[in-house]
Structure 1
Amino acid sequence: MRAEGPVGPGTGLTPAAGRPGIWTAGPDEGVPLVLVHGIRVSARMWDPHTRRLAPRFRITAPDLPGHGTQHDRPFSLEEAVAQVGLAVEEAALATGRPPLVVGASLGGYVALAYGAAHPDRAAAVLVQGATARPDRLTGWVYRTAARAIWGLGPARAARLNDRALKRRLPRESYQAIMGGGLTMHAFVEVVEDLTRRDFLNVAARARLPVLFVNGRGDRLFRAQEREFVAAVRSGGGYSRLFHVNGPHDMSISDPAAFTRIVERGHALLSEARPEAFAPRDERT
């Protein structure tokens, strides 16, 4: 079940010419920022954040395979990483600088995998709510949810999710998410793919600055948070872990607070590793 329609007024996100599934906002002189969405939603979930981050930041947001404008594409981690790669390329070409890649939940796993695959293309990665190994307890929880969705059928599951999101989320987040549409079949595809992956091994290959941010109330996805930090460091990467007040879905349940997290994360990473954020032609 998808909610189709044009970009709403005032969102700032517009489709990038010649790059299917890539959305942009903000001036080219802004700080480059790539935002990667969570499961079953789309890049449009970032509309409320875009309004707060632009014009200081120049934002690029991809629709992952199986989601949003890419809902007909099967999901795989490799294809999701490739889609983030298109967003990173767009951001770097527009601004002349490598972007900070920020991912929430599913987007956090994908952002980390992108950093592992291409540590020289992004300035750094901020991972929120993605420090539990999907091949362990977290995967069992999500496989159970996926079976429930399969039993209900995607259309009925989408209607139930719509009602739940409308009750739980602030109006701006709900409108943004429904503007991009819910794709419940993607939930099943994502769970089947990610539960086969060892993300600690992925983290060990991420040889670039990685900032992990977890909500204090997000017990499930904090399960291996210190192991993730240690894995990045074991591979030679720079990594830190921060806890903030909030639940797993803080990116959509409190977009104002999450925007401040992104801004603070960029400032911390810029102070710690300023060379990572330098324009490409000025690097030594």
Structure 2
Amino acid sequence: MPKAESTRYWQSVKQGAVDAGNERGADVVFRGPMLHEDVEKQKAIIAEGMQDRPDAIVIAPAHTTLLAESLNKATKLGTLVLGIDSSMEGVDLTTFISTDNKAAGRDAAEYLLGLTHGKGAVLLLRHADDNGSTLDREQSFAKAMAAKAPNTKLISSGFIGVSIGNAYHSILELLQQHPGITAIFASSEKISIGCVQALRELKPKHEVRVLVFDQTPEIRQALQDKLIDGFMIQQPYRMGYLGVNAACDALEGKRVPKRMVTKVKLITNVGELRPETE
């Protein structure tokens, strides 16, 4: 169960899950909300899916706590629950598979500091207060900035990741309010796209170094146009593949580690991109 079905990221998760299912002889049903952060829809999908008593649920939770009751009911009925992408509380997971988001936040801070040499102000564009993966990135970024460049001013956007449009308008306003910004880090796909749109419109008069998260056609084009300095990509295919594979291992009585981590790669040239399944 993804956070949403439609985006490129979750379709990569789906492909990994389906490929693992084909290899292991497992029937993989991929169902999620149409929109991100739709916790109620995820609850409804869990309730409906449990009518068929699945052997396992592999889920990217849309909220850190609000799905615990639904998933704990599933485990009591004998269904294994495995988490991917974003952390959650109050659920006994067979395993949790995600990007090393704390390392990603730290690496983002170090990269931008290397470009700005700690001069000027840094804008941290934050996603949502109930999303475990982006919270880890943002907190780690802020911590690394404070440790490595204590005299650098860190400006937080507040949580603006409700929609691309909301991110775009918020970022335009922030850039106009703080003309001394020399670097920007966007922690999610939505605010990364909003950031690109705002920069295209505003066209800052001084150099602003920009690092965003995840990739889309708009983000890749922004890198080609030198509007941004780079973007960080995750391994969604691998998350889906490992999630289904781990579920099959656990159902066969094999030992499954409680935590599995996938790496993030920093892309500064679109020529560096390779198919994830290679």
Q: TM-score normalized by structure 1?
A: 0.32
Q: TM-score normalized by structure 2?
A: 0.33
Whose helix proportion is higher, 1 or 2?
A: 1
Work out which of the two has the higher radius of gyration on C-alpha atoms and give 1 or 2: 2
